[in-house]
Amino acid sequence: MANTPSIPSNMPAGPSTRTSQRPERKFEAAGKHVYLIGIGGSGMSGLARMLVGRGAKVSGSDREETDATIALAGLGVEVGFDQTKAWLPEQCDLVVASAAIRADHPQMIAAAERAIPAMLYAEALGMCMSGRTGVCVAGTHGKSTTTAMLGCALADAGLDPTVIVGATSGQLAQGCGKPVSEPTGFRLGAGEIPAGALAGKPGLLVAESCEFNRSFHNLRPTMACITSVEADHLDVYGTLDAVVEAFHEFAALIPPSAQGGKLLIAHDNAHRREVTAGLDCMVETIGFSPQADWQVDYEPQSRRVTLRRGQDVHAAWVMKLPGAHNAMNAATAMVLACWSGADPFKVAESLAAFSGIDRRMQLLGEKQLAGGIVRVFDDYGHHPTEIDVTLRALREAEQPQTREGRLICVFQPHQHSRTRHLMEEFASSFSQADVVIVPQIYFVRDSEAEKQKVTSGDLVDRLRQKGIRAMHLHPFEAIVEQLENLCRPGDVLVCMGAGPVWRIARGYLGEAKA
């Protein structure tokens, strides 16, 4: 393996170039030893399981033991938790690092010293996608939920997909038609599509496709969707124009329509004209607009979703999940599933039974107070658009105002650069909340210089200027104490953010220390 020219021997140093011109690369895993640095992450642990399923010997390291590493150990994967030493197994054919691992990591240095090929997670996923029917779910928002919905729907339709998603679901392993199992972000499927219009084609590999650091340029989609394109990861891209260009380059990876290449893109809020310019694949749009190729209707009270193709109703179902954004996620999954050869009736049944993924409007529990309860939710939202749609969906579903309750949000900003670049958008995204509590900004990836440019207090000041009751508190224990004094019967509490803000929700429920 070390002498295989098609595998890069070092980490990528910068933005990718037009990747549609790259030669196809396929990784033959059987008999190889692959070492994963950061193996406990959702995507990385899924990749580890996929490599095991393809006959590779897999081991790896992470900072601490988690449910994911315990599950991997049950599959015979050796996981170490000391990343301070420049150590790798004696036999090691390939090193794969998560996006959070830097080139100066001791184990990356060890790989370089021993001339062991090393690559990032997205590169390895792209190589695994070669020789499969790749279905990529991309977009600024909705990727994880849409990927999980699609994976469950394809499983319920008998198409036996492999699925890898950056979140966990108790329905993903077996589909929505089976009992809930242990939450997972991975499902191993067949090497060949067993049924449907594409029966006999290479097996389906459904993957959440992240734009951070242009990771999705390494993938090999046959079909893809783009749910939205907005300004985010500006620490990487700098400008919205650069984000749009990156999505255009991703879309250019899809093969021509004559080879089965298809792209489904949001009719609105996806810069679709710029993203789809000059593409050779089939392109169709989806949205609430009558001008979209696939029109979505959503009734908030009943949660009924109707998907139309022109004047014809293609499918209809009633959602368990609230919110127009989830209706759009489900409709997008429906189209991709049908393009993959699934029966729309079976897909609709699956989508109607889908109960969500962890950390997306996830009900953690209820706290009993004198005179009533407080319902406590956990959510991963960390971009202004995600915050807005989640708070609207929670108010629509929970209606705390009808029982003299309030919607209280604890929001932990994720990255100083994102907070600074999108300050005005953040300040406008909490209009549905009655009270907002902001802890310290979660410091990740940014430089120390960036850290000095913005604080949580700046966001609180802007929220107050907009008439929202907001406060900054630190540490987490102080926020739990404040919630114990603040919350009253009938309230709904949601803790939001991509960092460890979930500890506040668990702490308020008395399940763990914050």
Domain ranges of the chain: 28-121, 130-353, 362-508
Tokens linked to 280: 């050779």
CATH class for the region spanning 130-353: alpha beta
Check if the beta carbon of residue 18 is closer than 8 Å to that of residue 100. Answer: no
Q: Find the mean pLDDT for residues 341-348.
A: 97
Strands 78-80 and 94-97 turn out to be: unpaired
Tokens linked to 273: 């004209």
Q: Nearest to residue 315, comparing CAs of 327, 302, 326, 324?
A: 327
pLDDT of amino acid 514? 66
Taking the CB of residue 373, how many other CB atoms lie within 10 A of it?
A: 17
CATH class for the region spanning 362-508: alpha beta
Give the pTM.
Answer: 0.86
Q: Nearest to residue 237, comparing CAs of 247, 228, 227?
A: 247
pLDDT of amino acid 443? 87
pLDDT above 60 for 435 = yes
Burial (CB count within 10 angstroms: exposed 0-12, middle 13-18, buried 19+), residue 13: exposed
In which band, very low, low, confident or very high, does the pLDDT at 359 lie, cut at 50, 70 and 90? confident
Per-residue model confidence as pLDDT tens digits over 193-214:
999 999 999 999 999 999 988 9
Residues 407, 469: Cα–Cα separation, whole Å: 11
**Residue 286 Cα distances to 19, 152, 281, 393, 398, angstroms:** 26, 21, 16, 21, 28
CATH class for the region spanning 28-121: alpha beta
Per-residue model confidence as pLDDT tens digits over 281-338:
999 999 999 999 999 999 999 999 999 998 899 999 999 999 999 999 999 999 999 9
Residues 284, 265: Cα–Cα separation, whole Å: 6
Residues 261, 220: Cα–Cα separation, whole Å: 11
